[in-house]
Amino acid sequence: MAELHCERRNQRPNIYNSVFYETLVSTLSVIRLKGQADRRLRAGHQWIYSNEVNTDATPLKQFNAGDQVIVETAHGKPLGVAMINPNTLICGRLISRSTDTVLNKSTIVHRLKIALSLRDSVYPEPYYRLVFGDSDGLSGLVVDRFADILVVQISTAGIERVKNEVIEALQEVVKPSAILMKNDGKMRNVEGLDTYVEEVFGHVPEVVYLKENDVLFQAPVWDGQKTGWFYDHRENRKTMQTFCSGKKVLDVFSYVGGWGVQAAAAGATEVTFIDASEAALDHVDANLALNQYEGESNLMQGDAFEAMNALIEEKQRFDVVVMDPPAFIARRKDIKAGEGAYHRANQLAMRLVAKGGILVSGSCSMHLETGRLHDIVRSNSRQLERFSQLVYRGTQAPDHPVHPAIPETEYLKALFYRVHNNMGL
């Protein structure tokens, strides 16, 4: 039996010597990695850094941004197919670990169906992030769904190269009435791509409607931040609602009111919103009206730090304070300055929390670890002589799945603290 087993094993097709592989290599160019540079990819990560490529054997300058290439180890064994951009630090993004798969309409359709099945299994209504980049096997692609309207963001040259295939695949899988390309993000500049916002299918109105936690919203998809809405805090907002009935709430960096309007819908008697954008606060007003809010609402336009200081001087206190700022840490080199901004913001927020009230401290900065955010709030508690208790630790919603080998896909934090005056502890 041992000899028979050995004979059968030797007869098994060898991918490295197969006619198919030779044909594919003749179609796609090859990048070869340096020694040991394949370890992270073998562990599950999908990114290739430019300093990991053997540029003597395979110069990066020979490629065009968006090309698809075969990735080989230092010894010439194929690891899969990747999109390449020779002009960026992350120069490669793995498409597949099989050399017989390229990124085309068929591949995109298949992965969209898998992504859709997850969202449909979790959410009863079609309001969610349909595609979350690397976590859904489509690095550089984000798709948010607002019923039958899709808002798409492309941030890599590889996905931009197959933009038409993406549109066709979305039409086939989701059958939307309209698609908006919201391609104005900062990452496009890094990738050497033009920025633009355009309808590519159907008609997309200035605002679209959605429902989150049974609360209605309008989102400014053309002119708003990112895709116009942030689905990632959905579960954290739902938890926040449990603390809001009959309470006075402050929503800092409110944007269009994702937190504060849900607090109002949960029975808050008074909600104050702070945002730098007058247009965003106009949408807050509209969203309160959509939900027929009859309590008191206060809209404060201006710098959030100045507005919080003004509220402190007025001796205002709130039962629930939500501090969910934009990413203060966009890159690793911003960590020191960004942590300082989180410290100042949370300190001001904590000073505005009434005795026994709730502070919600959020962060969308991937480079700020959850433990570090907790340290910042703990430090503020000691400096202000407050006694704080961590009562809930939240992360991103299921429509923003985390790729277990790509820590960059786990970015969102929401820490809920009950805050008391100094208890002598």
The fraction of the chain above a pLDDT of 70, given in percent, is 93
Q: How many CB atoms lie within 10 A of CB 280?
A: 21
AA letter at 9: R
Cβ-count burial of 278 within 10 angstroms (0-12 exposed, 13-18 middle, 19+ buried)? exposed
Q: Residue 322: is its pLDDT beyond 90?
A: yes
pLDDT class for 424, splitting at 50, 70, 90? low
> For 226-256, what is each residue's pLDDT tens digit?
999 999 999 999 999 999 999 999 999 999 9
Q: Residue 3: is its pLDDT beyond 90?
A: no
364 is catalytic: yes
pLDDT class for 331, splitting at 50, 70, 90? confident
Residue 151 β-bridge partners? 144, 180
Domains of the chain: 15-96 (2.30.130.10), 105-204 (3.30.750.80), 208-421 (3.40.50.150)
Q: Residue 122: is its pLDDT beyond 90?
A: yes
Predicted local distance difference test score (pLDDT) of residue 44? 95
Mean pLDDT of 259-281: 98
Q: Residue 17: is its pLDDT beyond 90?
A: no
**Given the residues 6, 91, 244, 364, the one annotated as active site:** 364
Predicted local distance difference test score (pLDDT) of residue 27? 80
Predicted local distance difference test score (pLDDT) of residue 185? 87
Q: How many CB atoms lie within 10 A of CB 206?
A: 11
Better-predicted residue by pLDDT, 6 or 212: 212
User: CA 39 to CA 112: how far, in whole Å?
Assistant: 28
Question: Which pTM was predicted?
Answer: 0.91
> For 196-218, what is each residue's pLDDT tens digit?
999 999 999 999 999 999 999 99
Work out whether strand 127-132 and strand 141-146 pair parallel, antiparallel, or are unpaired. Answer: antiparallel
Q: Residue 14: is its pLDDT beyond 50?
A: no
User: CA 343 to CA 320: how far, in whole Å?
Assistant: 18
**How confident is the prediction for the chain on average, in pLDDT?**
93
Predicted local distance difference test score (pLDDT) of residue 425? 56
